Structure 1
Amino acid sequence: MARDAQPRQVGRPARISRDNIIDTVLEIGIDRATIAAVAECLAVDPSTLYGHIKNRDDMLGEAADRAIRQARWPQEAMTDWRTFLEAIADRLWELYCNNSGLAQHLRSMPIAPPALLSRSAQIVTTLVELFDIPLGEAALVVDSVGDSVIDSFIFISQLDSKTNPDGPTMRAGALASLHEAMEAGVDEQLADYITVLEEALGQDGVPGDYWKDKIALILDGLTYRLEKL
């Protein structure tokens, strides 16, 4: 006589998942997301996370990739390549503003996350196929625009920070140093340059348009190159 089938044991449902962890990292901010901080938000022991992630680098890398995949990107059906690349620059800036610590983390990674590589390849392909830009120039301008946006964002973020909670921002300190130099007396050439630097530094919490001027200069360079082809 056959044995009666034993009832299947149903285990306890998982309290967290890899998706939960990554979502929590993005809520906390990549720059503040430690194993302990994420575990506390999820109300689990830190050791529980290691059933879903390898380590903190794995966790942050996946969070960076997801942030990029979920970002709003401009429609590719634009009238000209310059408008398209300006829109890409704006979206990158928005991406870094909306994801605390993302820009700094991307700069620390030895290899860009898959989503960023894929998006960059798509942008290059658009420039080549829709706007007839040679592959070499397309790849170079996408790389240059990306580098300029992320480096400008990190620099401005540093200017908005404080060396101590009760002190001035780094921007305020930099502006004060420039004003002191002007008051001490400098030659006309240096004075003109200091004036430009003051405008570039902007105001606390307001990045200004200096970073956009850098993008414009890069795009002007591509225009010149294309005219020579």
Structure 2
Amino acid sequence: MRETMWSFSNIRRTMFEKWGSLALVQGRGRGRPSRVGVEQILDTALSMGVDRLSMRSLAARMKIGVSTLYYHVASKEALLGLLGARILERFRLKLDDPSKWEDGIVATAKELRMVFELAPGLAQSAMVDPRWERAIVTLHEEGCSYLVRAGFTPAEAWLSARLLADFVEDYVVRTEAHRRAGCSDLEHASRMGGRTLRAAQRELAKNHHERRFEVGLDCIVRGIRARRLARSGGP
């Protein structure tokens, strides 16, 4: 079977039409033109992270006036929309035959993690901010339709896709929190706890974040597979 591209060109087009035109049309007339362009604005905003983003902080980072920033981007909401389109440009998956769905969801989880880590705070924002709802719903639809082609019922597909997204979002949010604190939960627990926790820290060393992701993802895949086998009466 030909390899299919999980492409988000339509999402990018929709989001740009919804937000990009707002930014570039309504933004004109405020401030004054400059050599700063939208691409530079988006790159700088991504490097700052969604969690720290404000129009004033972005203008300060770029060493331009806030009015100059508003000349290019009408509002923070418009900026977030453009950032969503930019992020989705980097979220492209080549999915094999749906019969290889296990490889597909593993690849999806790794790609989603990479996208979240490109923009600190995005995972937390995706959990609670309704401005990301359109993109998230579209991603769920794409993921669920792939699993339905693999033989899942729509309900099973949604539950599996949501479980995967919950895991990745939670992992990234926790890892970001540990980085800010300068100490992971395992490191903190091993200092406060007994021999077992200290032994776990020694065994995992500095690799415990990666191992947590690998083990969690493996458990999810195995669990989904086991449920499907039980429903089909397989071995």
* Superposition TM-score, scaled by structure 1 size: 0.71
What's the offset of the Cα at 1:177?
Answer: 1.2
Matched, 1:169 2:183: yes
What's the offset of the Cα at 1:39?
Answer: 1.2
2:222 counterpart residue number: 220
- Deviation track 1:144-176 (CA, whole Å, cap 9, x = no partner) reads 0010011012112222333xxxxx524433321
- The 1:174–1:157 alpha-carbon spacing in structure 2 relative to 1, beyond 3 Å, is farther
1:112 counterpart residue number: 132
1:23 counterpart residue number: 43
Distance 2:176 2:96 in 1: 32
SS in 2 for 1:120: helix
Amino acid in the other structure paired with 2:211: D
RCO greater where, 1 or 2, for CA within 8 Å and sep 6 or more? 2
Conservation of the 8 A alpha-carbon contact between 1:124 and 1:135: yes
- The 1:204–1:118 alpha-carbon spacing in structure 2 relative to 1, beyond 3 Å, is same
- The 1:124–1:150 alpha-carbon spacing in structure 2 relative to 1, beyond 3 Å, is same
Q: Which of 1 and 2 has greater Rg?
A: 1
- Deviation track 1:85-135 (CA, whole Å, cap 9, x = no partner) reads 011011112112222222222223135343333222112111112x12211
SS in 1 for 2:189: helix
Conservation of the 8 A alpha-carbon contact between 2:33 and 2:68: no
Distance 1:70 1:203 in 2: 35
Query: In proportion to residue count, which structure has more helix?
Result: 2
Distance 1:122 1:112 in 2: 16
What's the offset of the Cα at 1:51?
Answer: 4.3
CA RMSD for the aligned pairs?
3.2
- The 1:215–1:49 alpha-carbon spacing in structure 2 relative to 1, beyond 3 Å, is same
SS in 1 for 2:209: coil
Conservation of the 8 A alpha-carbon contact between 2:120 and 2:176: no
Conservation of the 8 A alpha-carbon contact between 2:73 and 2:79: yes
Q: Percent identity over the alignment?
A: 20
Conservation of the 8 A alpha-carbon contact between 2:55 and 2:76: yes
Matched, 1:143 2:145: no
What's the offset of the Cα at 1:210?
Answer: 1.7
1:63 alignment partner, one of 75, 83, 88: 83
Amino acid in the other structure paired with 1:114: R
- Deviation track 1:22-61 (CA, whole Å, cap 9, x = no partner) reads 3321133223332222213444321343445454354335
Point out where structure 2 has 5 or more consecutive residues left out of the alignment: 1-28
Amino acid in the other structure paired with 1:47: S
Amino acid in the other structure paired with 1:147: D
SS in 1 for 2:95: coil
Matched, 1:92 2:112: yes
Amino acid in the other structure paired with 1:33: L
Greater mean deviation of Cα atoms: 109-118 or 147-156: 109-118
Conservation of the 8 A alpha-carbon contact between 2:49 and 2:121: yes
